[in-house]
Amino acid sequence: MEIRYKKVKENLYIYLSGELDEYTATAVRSAVDGLLDRNVRANSVVFNLSGLTFMDSTGIGMLIGRYKKLKRIGVPVYLQSAPVSIEKILQLSGLYQVMPKI
């Protein structure tokens, strides 16, 4: 997994690339939380999923965990550019109801 980020006008964009599953989730969670902790004043956080080649329910759990963390400090979370292969699992999980697609 590769994680990159950029800030645009106090909005934090996090780019996830590779396979997000049980094997990689712990490292991703730790790296993303580090980024979030350093950017608690962000107006919003956007997860760009365009580089993901695989994601299962462990990835859903990871994203929900980050949503809960950011909700506590009032930062909205959005999802962006999910590949077709991952769109199905995002729709099924209802994740877009709390992390809207932009």
- Judged by CB under 8 A, the residue of 39, 44, 80, 93 near other proteins is 93
Q: Which stretch binds other proteins (CB under 8 A): 9-17, 33-41, 42-50, 52-60?
A: 52-60
Phi, psi values for residue 97, rounded to 5°: -70, -30
Identity of the residue, 11 or 31, whose beta carbon is nearer to other proteins in the bound complex: 31
**Residue 1 sits in the site that holds other proteins (CB under 8 A):** no
Out of 22, 33, 38, 50, the residue judged to bind other proteins by CB under 8 A = 22
Task: Give the burial string for 27-49 (b: 16+ CB within 10 Å, else e).
Answer: ebbebbeebbeebeebeebbbbb
